[in-house]
Amino acid sequence: MDGGFPAHEQIDAVHEHTQGRSAVIAPVPEPRKTKAEDHDEPPPDKHRRKDGDSDAVAQWRARMAHSQIKDVYKQRTATAECVNALARQRGLLWLPVRGLAKVRAVAYLYALAHNLMRMVKIAPQLIGRATAAPAAAQAAV
């Protein structure tokens, strides 16, 4: 999940929908300081359970305190963020359809097109677009 978007209601919904089998990995936002707070005091621990937190939110806070989980989140930049940026550059800013079946169809078509374009760039020989000089030209040299 993007940083800045982990709403408690969404974390609860994921936990309920997956019956606890999936874990939300998103950074815990820094606590906001009020004007009345003394600036010399250290901020409260953002990974501790707070009043009003559900069990799922408390588990998320505790999970995000571990450096291993933070490293997992950092991997997102190298994977999902690149795909998201490319999607936006290619015009997929919002979905022009309604309904789950149509949204899935657009997402699948975009994923297929994205994967094909990546394959052309990474492994052009798989589709007959080799980057090396043709064998006949190499033999003539």
Q: Are 63 and 1 contained in the same domain?
A: yes
CA separation, residue 93 to residues 14, 86, 114 (Å): 24, 10, 15
Q: Are 120 and 67 contained in the same domain?
A: no
- This prediction has a pTM of 0.55
Q: Are 31 and 68 contained in the same domain?
A: yes
User: Which residues, including other chains, have CB under 8 Å from residue 130's CB and lie 6 or more apart?
Assistant: 124
Task: Tell whether 12 is covered by a domain.
Answer: yes
Residue 39 has what pLDDT?
Answer: 61
Q: Are 8 and 68 contained in the same domain?
A: yes
Q: Are 8 and 52 contained in the same domain?
A: yes
Owning domain of residue 114: 94-131
* Residue at 114: amino acid letter: H
Q: Are 70 and 105 contained in the same domain?
A: no
Task: Tell whether 15 is covered by a domain.
Answer: yes
Q: Are 99 and 48 contained in the same domain?
A: no
Q: Are 63 and 107 contained in the same domain?
A: no
Task: Tell whether 139 is covered by a domain.
Answer: no
Task: Provide the residue-wise pLDDT of the chain in tens; the chain has 141 residues.
Answer: 555 567 888 889 888 888 888 888 888 887 776 665 556 677 778 888 988 999 999 999 999 998 888 888 888 777 777 888 888 898 888 888 999 999 999 999 999 999 998 888 888 888 787 655 555 555 555
